[in-house]
Amino acid sequence: MRGYLTATETAERWNITVRRVQVLCNQNRVDGAIKESGVWLIPFSAKKPERMKSGKKAEDTKHLEVLSLFSGCGGIDLGFEGDFKVLSASVNPKINTDWKIEKIDERWSNLGKTSFHTVFANDIKPEARAAWTNYFSTKGIDSENYYLDSIVDLVKLQKENKINIFPKNIDVLIGGFPCQDFSVAGKRMGFESNKGHDGKQITNEEPTVENRGQLYMWMREVIGITKPKVFVAENVKGLTNLDDAKEVIEKDFASVCNGGYLVVPAQVVNAGNYGVPQGRERIIFYGFKKSALTTKALYELSKAVISEEYSPYPKKTHYITESEKNTNMQKYVTVKQALSDLEEPETSNDISQQKYSKAKYMGKHCQGQQEVRLDGLAPTIRSEHHGNIEFRRLSKEHGGKHQNELKKGLKERRLSVRECARIQTFPDEYQFVIPALNGNKAVSGSEAYKIIGNAVPPLLGYHIAKRLEKNWDLYFGEDENDYNNQ
């Protein structure tokens, strides 16, 4: 385009890195810069931005790069990126005083952009990649950042062929390693899973380190390759009562890089305590690169009981029971609050709201044969949905309790794809039922259920990200890298 330069040309002209030019553009610090087809174009007349003066908040200047593994459709990735819409009732500015919250109206608010930027993602499900790239490409994240490959194959490719698959200078590594084999809803095979890293059945008799139940070990391999300052791993609560799985995983993570990581005691968090209208419990592991921590942070994080100031776990903002109610906490967000403005599938223009499982009611003895409580938290949205997805509404004959809706003649049906996404706190702009686009596979309603259920609720991911962002300098000290390249 006449009168414009590429980021590469501008980098050479200003004697800085291409990445630095892109960061400056993303921060709106380059006058007249425009983005076309995901590429920054900089006016020939644009001047190199001056170095920011001291006193600016770290969150305004830092640019922290994130590598995401087992990314799925990007629930935790969206949380780390920020800049998405949530229910106003789901945020608590009295506790999260450092959050940038733009109130849209009484019902909706927009969460601010974080300091984090996703530079790598991967999964083996083509439907997950299709949904991820369809959404994140609108946020300026290149679809080529998402690798549709098994983590095992990627690690082997890098190690055996000495090809740089994984980017360098990673600040944070995140990943929800496969959880079906630890889940109480599954067969509880744990480390002895009979499924491989590619999701297929293992044919040999003995399970190996490549099976699905031990894929966290390959996450550990990537930690060893990229050496992030901190990593965050997520899994189901069921892992905590499956023999000594929690302790084994903590020990394995801590041994990476010859004991170079401090793994703090993993904790179980309930998404309902963070404004998510769902009683979803997950265990979170944190590991910190010892050599990157300040002396004080290393000492504080090594304590048996970590102080509130240094704890990486986000503070609860919503109470579920009266016994946990605390000053400034808000009551949990209900299913009704999350779904009340959605039209019925027959009248909605949103294809993700139009799609819902037609599986018939099979009796109370089966999983997923109950209707959601509108005045309570939704049960965990599961990943193997179809015949076991909860009902949005049951008929009176089957024990339905939403009398006002039944009187209006609203029919018995299961939760729609959009309703599941709302319960998971995905914004409505995130499309799940999509046609084949840009070389990606089409995503059907049944596949959409699966990738939504596999995801970390974006709002929970945002809490995790903002806690790390707030404590970044506390853990790692002042970082001048953003300035040194100018």
Catalytic residues, which ones?
179
> Residue 189: CB partners within 8 Å, gap ≥ 6?
181, 213
State the SS3 of 150-214: CHHHHHHHHHHHCCCCCCCCCCEEEECCCCCCCCCCCCCCHHHCCEECCCCECCCCCCCCCEHHH
**Which pair of structure tokens corresponds to residue 289?**
């690169």
DSSP secondary structure letter of residue 98:
T
Cβ–Cβ under 8 Å, residues 32 and 45: yes
Cβ–Cβ under 8 Å, residues 337 and 87: yes
Own/partner contacts of 154-159, CB < 8 Å, gap of 24 or more, are 154/122, 154/222, 155/218, 155/221, 155/222, 155/225, 158/225, 159/225
The whole-angstrom separation of Cα 417 and Cα 430 is 11
Nearest to 180 by CA among 384, 358, 368, 11: 384
For 310-366, the DSSP string reads: T--SPPP-EESSGGG--TT-EEPPPHHHHHTTPPPTTT-S-HHHH-B--PPP--TTS
**Which pair of structure tokens corresponds to residue 370?**
């109950």
Q: Which residue has the tokens 């309703």?
A: 419
Cβ–Cβ under 8 Å, residues 390 and 378: yes
The whole-angstrom separation of Cα 400 and Cα 396 is 5
Distance, C-alpha 204 to centroid of its chain: 34
Longest Cα–Cα distance in the chain: 74
